[in-house]
Amino acid sequence: MTIKLPTLVATSVVRGSQQGESHGGVYTVDFEKQQVDQHIDWNKSNINFDGRGADRGLRGIAFNGDDILIAASDELFRYDRSFKIKTSNKNHYLKHCHEICRFEQMIFLTSTGFDSLLAFDLGKMKFVWGFHLQRQYNQWAGHTFDPGTTMGPLPVNEFHINMVHVDHTGIYLSGLRTNALLHLNGKMEVSEVCSLPSGAHNARPYREGLLFNDTNSDCLRYSGRDGNNVAFKIETYDEADIEFSGVDDSRIARQGFGRGLCPVGDRFVAGGSSPSTVSLYDLNGNQKVGSVNLTMDIRNAIHGLEPWPYKD
């Protein structure tokens, strides 16, 4: 049986870039045709150039019908299928957004700069809900807030929340410094699902286990409850082929930095890395199907990944 390989949409960010340079973009990566197309080159004059990664580039991706939702650091953009902007929405409590997730008619966004999650109502076209994560007396806690008021949390980045996944069982979130995948139930109670290594990205439930980028170990991992554990080493290259290799700047991403992850059905998983590379893995066969490199510029790193849902 011949298996048709997927098309993915990917966003990238560029660390340490200067004014006048590209700060990332949006691409479609067709593994079947071995074709990459860039649709957006993110180059805005009002980008904040302070901090690691900071406001540069585009981040999480979600779909709603013919609309493509893509987050920047502090703004949610709605594009049509030709990547023309239809609307954009900002909120005071959205800062250094990483990943987003659609569930029913809500877009959930990580607000890393506020240790919070936000929800954007696609019907009302506005931010309607916020949750601020806290840890008190060695226990996880938090509280909801209205993002339309000034009564929300202060800007704090203690946990560096970088992932949100929502389904009928609740809200899942994690960050570089949560050291755990957390679950938020309907009563807004926070509990630990399982532990995570420090520095993990993109952790989420998948099949009968957990899928995540073990970024500090340069691996993409699947850990099953049945003991089926799989680890894929992140793609790396000869240092002589890397552009801007050895740049003495702490803001520059390192080679093999794993971030960006999405399931493709129940068999395949796609992962992103730096310099901007998208790799496709077969969990059933425990093998890498292939990798596509977008650029050898070490500053350019994949951020968001999602299967392209349209049959053009």
pLDDT above 90 (res 184): yes
Q: Rounded to an integer, what distance in angstroms lies between the CA atom of residue 279 and that of residue 252?
A: 21
Residue 80 confidence class, pLDDT cut points 50, 70, 90:
very high
Give the mean pLDDT of 181-186.
96
Average pLDDT over residues 87-100: 96
pTM of the model: 0.92
Average pLDDT over residues 166-170: 96
Q: Tell me: the pLDDT tens digits for 44-55? A: 544 443 444 444
Q: What is the pLDDT of residues 209-240, one digit of tens each?
A: 999 999 999 999 999 887 788 999 999 999 98
Which band of pLDDT confidence, cut at 50, 70 and 90, is reported for residue 311? confident
Look at residue 282 and tell me whether its pLDDT is greater than 90: yes
Q: What percent of the chain has pLDDT over 70?
A: 89
- pLDDT for residue 72 is more than 80: yes
The amino acid occupying position 157 is N
Enter the tokens of residue 227: 């003991």
Predicted local distance difference test score (pLDDT) of residue 288: 95
- Tell me if 214 sits within 8 A of 200, measured CB to CB: yes
Count of alpha carbons within 13 angstroms of residue 87, beta-carbon side: 8
pLDDT, mean of residues 57-63:
93
Mean pLDDT on 190-207: 94
> For residues 48-84, b (16+ Cβ closer than 10 Å) or e, as one string?
eeeeebbbbbbbbbbbeeeebbbbbbbebbbbeeeee
| Averaged pLDDT, 147-154 | 94
pLDDT of 18 > 90? The answer is: no
pLDDT at 14: 82
For residue 20, name the pLDDT band (cuts at 50, 70, 90). very low
Q: Position of tokens 């008190």?
A: 136
pLDDT of residue 44: 56
CA distance 1 to 203: 32
Give the pLDDT mean for 267-287.
94
- Which pLDDT does position 45 carry in this prediction? 41
Phi then psi for 197, rounded to 5 degrees?
-70, 150
CA distances in angstroms from 260 to 44, 103, 152, 224, 230, listed in the order given: 23, 19, 29, 20, 18
* Residues 77 and 64 sit within 8 Å (Cβ to Cβ): no
pLDDT band for position 299 (cuts 50, 70, 90): confident
Does the pLDDT value for residue 270 go beyond 90? yes
Lowest mean pLDDT segment, chosen from 16-30, 57-71, 84-98, 251-265: 16-30
Q: What residues contact residue 237 under an 8 Å CB cut-off, 6+ apart?
A: 255, 275, 293, 296
Domains of the chain, each with CATH number or no CATH = 7-307 (2.130.10.10)
Q: Is 91 exposed, middle or buried (0-12, 13-18, 19+ CB in 10 A)?
A: buried
